[in-house]
Structure 1
Amino acid sequence: MKTILITGASRGIGAATAILAAERGYRVCINYHHNQTAAEQVAGTIRAKGGTAFLLQGDVSSEADVCRMFREVDSIGPLHALVNNVGILEKQTRVENIDAERLSRVLRSNVISCFICAREAIRRMSVKHGGAGGAIVNVSSIAARTGSPGEYVDYAASKGAMDAFTTGLSKEVADEGIRVNGVRPGFIYTDIHASGGEPGRVDRIRDTIPMKRGGQPEEVAEAILWLLSDGSSFSTGTFIDITGGR
């Protein structure tokens, strides 16, 4: 059984990915920061379906927490897949109102965490280090393309950084048995929009989406699992936009 670690897996896209990964036969490590109850619910859903799930508490923007988490994964089994899903955004505002503290929070959670988690995964999966290879999927956002003007340019910039990271890392480890790809969701029904101060954002803009609807976390999870699977064995450094055509 393959082992997968999914960061921020207690809600939204992360939770949907954890549940689908278990259905596809993975041993699932569910990372969460604060919401243990939600993480336990995800694990309970997996176990009720006959799957295997482990909870890993940790703040992925903390290097010490990440290193501890990966040591816990080592005790579970060899790591085969990593999904860098954690992402935060703050209240909608213009750049002229953004201070350094906010920027630091967003970049630590959305960018630095991905670097640190990928580093630890590579040290375990790379054939250069005696590993058996593996796959990494980074969850970016359509905001990396649109820039999110007037709402959260800082979040968009962090996702742009994640895209550059995905491209560079994919080339760096391509001959070490590790594939690195990304998904760019947009307009998905998750509670991240409440963090931005507008829980109903998807419904407000859905008529501007060619498919005239918002997406579901499960639709993003399907793309992530495909990129992790042998079905995408010749794909690395690629992105799947999951935006309803926008």
Structure 2
Amino acid sequence: MDLALVTGGSRGIGRATALLLAQAGYRVAINYRQRADEAAAVVAEIEAQGGSAFAVQADIAEEAQVLRMFTEIDNQGALRVLVNNAGILSTQCRVEDLDAERIQRVFATNVTGTFICCREAVKRMGTHHGGKGGAIVNVSSAASRLGAPGEYVDYAASKGAMDSLTKGLSLEVAAQGIRVNSVRPGLIYTEMHADGGEPGRVDRLASSLPMGRGGQADEIAQAIVWLASDAASYVTGTFIDAAGGR
């Protein structure tokens, strides 16, 4: 059975994506950093629906943990899909109040960790390595275009770096049977806003969106799974802005 890895798969967009990938017939690896119970609950939900899944712990900000995670995955099946969904942000603040430790922490996960996951996936998927090809989908953010002023400029910059990775890597590996694309969500109802100190952020800003509402995790998952599917077989280096028109 082909295998799909979803980083940060225990909640929010990652959870919704894992459920859809399982429905599409993949054995799904649910990566988590700390939320073991929530990851186990996603696995149980997939299995209750007749799918196949397992949880694998790793902090993708730590290269050694990423390598261990991929070794565990190698024992479970052939990796064909990687969804780089894991990401962090910190409490809302202005650039003048940022410190180096915070910036480095955000970039370690959102940029370096994503690069390392992509590197390991290419080694397994690429036809030049004896693989059968595959798809990588990076979960970026509309913040990469908008800058998130007064709130998360560091997070926005990290997602801008992810966008550059998406484009550059897609061109590097197109001839090796690997497609690399990105979804850039906007204001989505997930727990991440609480991490930034404002659980009700989507409700506060929803009326400013052209569509007049925030998005749901499943709406983003649908775009991710489409990009990973054969229906998008001629699509690479592309960005889907799923941000309600923003």
Measured against the shorter chain, the TM-score band is over 0.9
Tell me the residue number matched to 1:146. 146
Structure 2 letter corresponding to 1:28: V
What are the within-5 Å matches in structure 2 for residues 7-22 of structure 1?
7-22=7-22
Tell me the residue number matched to 1:98. 98
Supply the distance in 1 between the matched residues of 2:25 and 2:78 (Cα, whole angstroms): 15
What are the within-5 Å matches in structure 2 for residues 87-166 of structure 1?
87-166=87-166
TM-score when scaled to structure 2?
A: 0.99
Aligned residues, how many?
A: 246
Tell me the residue number matched to 1:62. 62
Q: Secondary structure of 2:213's partner?
A: coil
Identity percentage over the alignment?
Answer: 62
In structure 2, stretches of 5+ residues that fail to align are none
Q: Deviations over 1:147-189 (max 9, x none)?
A: 0000010000000000001000000000000000000001000
Tell me the residue number matched to 1:50. 50
Q: Deviations over 1:53-93 (max 9, x none)?
A: 11100101110000000011110011101000011110000
TM-score when scaled to structure 1?
A: 0.99
Structure 2 letter corresponding to 1:171: L
RMSD (Å) for aligned C-alpha atoms: 0.5
Structure 2 letter corresponding to 1:119: R
Structure 2 letter corresponding to 1:148: A
Structure 2 letter corresponding to 1:98: L
The alpha-carbon deviation at position 2 of structure 1 amounts to 1.5
Supply the distance in 1 between the matched residues of 2:134 and 2:20 (Cα, whole angstroms): 18
Q: Is residue 167 of structure 2 the alignment partner of residue 167 of structure 1?
A: yes
Tell me the residue number matched to 2:234. 234
What are the within-5 Å matches in structure 2 for residues 33-44 of structure 1?
33-44=33-44
Structure 1 letter corresponding to 2:81: A
What are the within-5 Å matches in structure 2 for residues 198-237 of structure 1?
198-237=198-237
In structure 1, stretches of 5+ residues that fail to align are none
What are the within-5 Å matches in structure 2 for residues 180-191 of structure 1?
180-191=180-191
